[in-house]
């Protein structure tokens, strides 16, 4: 159901944005509303009407209480660490394996507010329909993967610690142990990245790709709710897992 509502939210968002967009650079040109356009708008409203109440109720659902606003930032941040830790934990349950996890920095589109966090806030933060995916790769390819993100200034990660020097990942530790080029590693990531997005076409050389059954949005919502239920607060901290040398 969440997938359908997410899709509906995107459609509604695009529909709403379409009403607000103004032409740029053509101020002298006259635009007129055609009758068929009005009919299309009425048809769209009729289509979404049965779901409107349910969607509005869901986005207002309280997920938990945050100690303070969490912003994304490089090379690491409280928000990035929180989401990466949640992703690693969920991925280990989903796939039965997971040495480290990552999210692409550009896929996180908003901060988490201080105080009350609602379902809609999380949807704004993770608006894309990305699924979890498990990628098995050797240490040599993992080093290439980490170098790629080091050159971008970092990205949210869990289960790994490294420094950034001359656009390379140095002093790499995987769960406290030095990276071994001949060893296999299980990396959990969004399917967008696993399938070559954000410049990661080289992941086609990985040993195994396994698509999961959960949206990253679902994983984040579940993880945040669980943290709030268990700890009474949603919080995270920077711990030096990615640092600049």
Task: Please give the Cα distance from 226 to 179 (Å, whole number).
Answer: 31
Cα distances (Å, whole numbers) of residue 135 to 49, 55, 96, 103, 124: 41, 34, 13, 13, 27
- For 234, which DSSP code? B
What does the CA dihedral 51, 53, 55, 56 come to, rounded to 10 degrees? 150
Break the chain into its structural domains and give their ranges: 2-59, 63-244
> What residues form DSSP beta bridges with 190?
132
For residue range 171-225, list pLDDT tens digits in order. Answer: 999 999 999 999 999 999 999 999 999 999 999 999 999 999 999 999 999 999 9
**Rounded mean pLDDT, 110-126:** 94
Q: How many residues does the structure list for the chain?
A: 245
Is the per-residue pLDDT at 58 higher than 80? Answer: no
Q: What is the CATH architecture assignment of 63-244?
A: Alpha-Beta Complex (3.90)
Is the per-residue pLDDT at 32 higher than 80? Answer: no
């Amino acid at each position: 159901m969440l997938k359908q509502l997410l899709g509906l939210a995107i459609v509604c968002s695009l529909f709403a944005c379409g009403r607000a967009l103004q032409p740029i650079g053509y101020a002298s040109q006259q635009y007129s509303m055609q009758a068929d356009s009005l009919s299309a708008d009425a048809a769209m409203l009729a289509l979404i009407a049965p779901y409107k109440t349910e969607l509005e109720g869901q986005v207002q659902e309280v997920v938990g209480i945050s100690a303070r606003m969490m912003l994304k930032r490089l090379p690491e941040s409280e928000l990035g660490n929180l989401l990466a830790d949640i992703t690693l934990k969920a991925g280990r349950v989903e796939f039965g394996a997971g040495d480290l996890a990552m999210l692409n920095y550009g896929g996180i589109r908003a901060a988490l507010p201080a105080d009350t966090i609602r379902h809609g806030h999380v949807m704004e933060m993770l608006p894309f329909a990305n699924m979890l995916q498990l990628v098995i790769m050797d240490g040599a390819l993992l080093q290439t993967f980490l170098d790629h993100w080091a050159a971008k200034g970092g990205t949210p990660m869990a289960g790994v610690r490294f420094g950034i020097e001359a656009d390379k990942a140095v002093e790499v530790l995987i769960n406290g142990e030095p990276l071994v080029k001949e060893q296999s590693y299980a990396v959990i990531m969004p399917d967008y990245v696993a399938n070559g997005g954000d410049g990661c076409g080289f992941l086609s050389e990985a040993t195994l790709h396994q698509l999961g059954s959960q949206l990253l949005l679902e994983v984040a919502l579940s993880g945040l709710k669980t943290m709030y239920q268990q700890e009474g607060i949603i919080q995270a901290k920077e711990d030096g897992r990615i640092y600049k040398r």
